[in-house]
Amino acid sequence: MGICSVFGVTPYAVYRLHQGNWIVGFTDTFLVLGTSFAVFYAWRTGNTVRPGQFLAIIYSLGGFLVTIKLGINGLFWLYCLVLFNFFVVPPLQSLIATVTTLVAVCVYGWMRPQDIFESHYQMMSFVVTYLLASLFAFVFAYRARVQRVQLALLATLDPLTGIGNRRTMDEELDIAIADSQRYGMSFGLLVLDLDHFKSVNDRYGHSVGDQVLVDFVRVIRSASRASDRVFRLGGEEFVLLVPKVDKAGLAGAAQHVQRSVANQLRSPGGPVTVSIGGCVLADHENRDDWLRDADICLYQAKDAGRNCTVIKGLA
């Protein structure tokens, strides 16, 4: 959007400076330079909020100056301003900027008749169309913002259980590894898999199986500390990230979760149990190795008869 503005306004800046229309020409030049700076800042820092707010301010001011200098011909640029503001800054801030510009133009037009509007009727027509354009842009921008938030949630959360998905887990494990390397924090990882869960789906249907998964997450959360993070790895397999824990503490946490599940989790066929494998972060340099070792312990727990816990390095 900013690049388009640079290419769109630059020819007008050159033309008006060539024609000796200094105020409008310098205003256009300032807008081009301000836009270029904002685009460069956003590209270098990755921060698009502050550049957007800066552009909304200078474009609103520039639109006002161009309008009072060019008169009715400058009003057409204000409709572009409406669209621009609602594209680059949050809807409420855009609404404030566009309405403020409208008020400034109308006050100036009222105090200086004939400079902008040829009649009060023309002013009212502009006000109505400008507000309608602002309203439509606001509704569109607001809906787009809500949809972006919803998409972000869908990209990071498991839709069934509401906990973090594989993507979120990868990010959290990377953060844990970075914290361990920088601050010496200890972390443990548990991989949990419901025993014979496929038979629940096959015998009672996926709706019952889904409810068991939802209840399973509820039990894990109630049996874990507030600082522990649970993620859905896929199917009936989950991961629990446990900070500030050693091997013995991780084993104790796993056994507590295992007992809680056995005592509280039910399906129409009776109690549902869980097998758990885990390991502490220790010397693991990346999340894949860490997760692989915990997964190996999980399969050892299943081979040992299920409904048990195996922690790497702990007899």
Please list, in sequence order, all residues whose beta carbon lies within 8 angstroms of the beta carbon of residue 102, skipping any fewer than 6 positions away.
78, 127, 130, 131, 134
Instruction: Judge contact between 292 and 286, C-beta under 8 A.
Output: no
Kindly calculate the radius of gyration of the chain based on its CA atoms and give it in whole angstroms.
30
> In this structure, how many other beta carbons lie within 10 angstroms of the beta carbon of residue 269?
12
How far, in Å, are 2, 6, 19, 88 from residue 29 at the CA level?
14, 9, 14, 20
61, two tokens: 């001011």
Which residue is it, tokens 């566009």? 98
Active-site residue (options: 118, 171, 172, 236): 236
**CA-based nearest residue to 148, from 90, 211, 231:** 90
Helices (H) and strands (E) in the chain, counts: 11, 7
Active site residue 171: no
CA atoms within 13 A on the CB side of 166: 7
d(CA 194, CA 95) in angstroms, rounded, equals: 51
| 3-state secondary structure (DSSP) of residue 270 | strand
Which residue is it, tokens 């520039």? 62
User: From start to end of 41-112, where are the E strands?
Assistant: none
* Residues designated as active site: 236
